[in-house]
Amino acid sequence: MADKISILIVDDEESVRDSLHNWFIEDGYDVGRAENAKNALLMLESRKFDIILADIKMPGMDGMEMHRRIRALNKDTIVIIMTAFASVDTAVQALKDGAYDYVTKPFDPDDLSHLIRNAATQILLKAENEALKMKVSTLEDIGDLIGQSEAILKVLKQVESVAQSNSSVIITGESGTGKELVARAIHSNSPRKYFPLISVHCGALTESLLESELFGHEKGAFTGAMFNRKGRFEMADGGTIFLDEIATISSKMQVELLRVLETKSFVRVGGNKEISSDFRVICATNRDLKGMVKSGNFREDLFYRLNVVNIAIPPLRERTEDIPLLVNHFIAKYCTSMSRDLITIEPAALKHLENFEFPGNVRELENMIERAIVIGNGREIKLRDLPMGKEAINSSVESLDELEKRHVEMILNKYSWNVSRSAKALNVDRVTLYNKIKKYNLKQQL
């Protein structure tokens, strides 16, 4: 651990520099020395030091002034001020200027060891914290939104630009297109990413339950309210609230929601204290909100309040070129989660997927791939592993030979290539079946 930490000793007394240098070298630190502030600043221009031990009284620029300049160069550097002239005033000033600590010469060896060890721990914790933040960002990246079609690239571009703002967003798209994924991508790429993303599925809750869910409630507010409970708006403080199926909320809730969005404050159910919360709103719907406004089923003022930015996600049938990418993504995802070797998909199966309508969009495709991996042979996803595979085979408009080949193969697979049983099922003799196998070059898949 220690060899990763670098220390710069700045003192005009050579004996002090050498003593500290020897002391820290024995601890395995990377140690540099400078006899005055000017040289120290020159050294800091060419390389970085984690900790700087600076004398307060030096000819020319003093330690306090040097500290201020170091902070301007790199505010993460830990500066420890040393002096033989201890006074409360200078100690307080050094700490006010952001010094890590203040020590008086000569130091107790144990105090010095503790001081440096604590500073080193702080540096490592900070580095670890940064690394974890990066990891969290990577996990929640827009990488989950797969596709190279023009339609999806447009969505990704919108996500990128809208993420940096604080504007309300409405995400529209058919069921299963990935509206929540887009909401997550916006949140995780926004400055609010270290605060929570709270999701509420408005369609799944009754009006009273939704009210209590969003605003929270006080103990005794209604039967069963045994404790005070924070609402989702309160939980989303600093972060983002995602209201899915926004079109399903009642007129009363629309009024209340509008008030909350305008004031960013609310009162818990059964309470009387105004609670403020700083949140961003992202909504999603698969309905035509504008049409609902025209027909009087959705408040116009709320619609305009929410619809600052609109992101429309195209259905999968309008971006079929993304299907191979999505298929590979889901294969990798589920093979990994099931601890299986990576498998492939046969061209015929992929072709059928590309031609399929997918009323359930990406979610349906994902479920199909997961199912195919579970029931398949573990090496390749076949057409028969897909729910529409059987139908595809049956509705084939290919030649009679092709149809016969597929049927014979299906029967053979059904009876595990037991020729006698397969021949009986096909109502032909074994020789005929052998001839068919030879003719169509059929082979048992192991």
Partner 1 sequence: MKENTIILVACGPFEKDFLKKIALSAEKEFRVPVTFIENHVDLTPFYSPGRRQYDANKLLSFISDSSVNENAKVIGLFRVDLFIPILTYIFGQAMLNGRSAVASIYRLRNEMYGLKKNEAMLLSRATKEVIHELGHNFGLIHCHIQTCVMRSSTYVEDIDQKSHNLCPECRESFDKI
Q: Does 25 sit near partner 1 (CB under 8 A)?
A: yes
Sequence letter at residue 198: I
Pick the stretch among 26-34, 244-252, 306-314, 349-357 that binds partner 1 (CB under 8 A): 26-34
Contact 215, 267 (CB under 8 A): yes
Pick the stretch among 23-31, 270-278, 291-299, 404-412 that binds partner 1 (CB under 8 A): 23-31
Q: Does 20 sit near partner 1 (CB under 8 A)?
A: yes
Contact 155, 311 (CB under 8 A): yes
Question: CA torsion 70→71→75→79, rounded to 10°?
Answer: 70
Q: Which is nearer to partner 1, 45 or 110 (CB)?
A: 110
Least separation in angstroms between CB 94 and partner 1: 18
Q: Does 278 sit near partner 1 (CB under 8 A)?
A: no
Cα distance from N-terminal residue to C-terminal residue, the chain:
53
Name which position in 16, 123, 169, 327 contacts partner 1 (CB under 8 A).
Answer: 16
Count of residues that bind partner 1 according to CB under 8 A: 23
Pick the stretch among 22-30, 195-203, 216-224, 353-361 that binds partner 1 (CB under 8 A): 22-30
Q: Does 106 sit near partner 1 (CB under 8 A)?
A: yes
Tell me how far apart the alpha carbons of residues 263 and 242 are, in angstroms, rounded to a whole number.
Answer: 18
Length of the chain: 446
Pick the stretch among 11-19, 126-134, 187-195, 401-409 that binds partner 1 (CB under 8 A): 11-19
Name which position in 57, 105, 317, 371 contacts partner 1 (CB under 8 A).
Answer: 105
CB atoms closer than 10 angstroms to residue 265: 12
Q: Looking at the DSSP assignment, which residues form a beta bridge with residue 163?
A: none
112-141: contacts with partner 1 (CB under 8 A)? 112-113
Least separation in angstroms between CB 10 and partner 1: 13
Contact letters for partner 1, residues 63-82 (x by CB under 8 A): -------------------x
Cis preceding linkage at 106, omega within 30: yes
Q: Does 15 sit near partner 1 (CB under 8 A)?
A: yes
Q: Does 92 sit near partner 1 (CB under 8 A)?
A: no
Of 135, 136, 156, 134, nearest to 145 by C-alpha is 156
- The β-bridge relationship of strands 344-345 and 380-381 is parallel
Q: Which is nearer to partner 1, 18 or 321 (CB)?
A: 18
Q: Does 341 sit near partner 1 (CB under 8 A)?
A: no
Q: Which is nearer to partner 1, 36 or 277 (CB)?
A: 36
Least separation in angstroms between CB 16 and partner 1: 5
Contact 68, 79 (CB under 8 A): no
Task: Supply the DSSP string of 126-182, one letter for each residue.
Answer: HHHHHHHHHHHHHHTSGGGS---SHHHHHHHHHHHHHHTS---EEEE--TTS-HHHH
Residues that bind partner 1 (CB under 8 A): 1-2, 13, 15-16, 18-20, 22-23, 25-28, 82, 105-110, 112-113
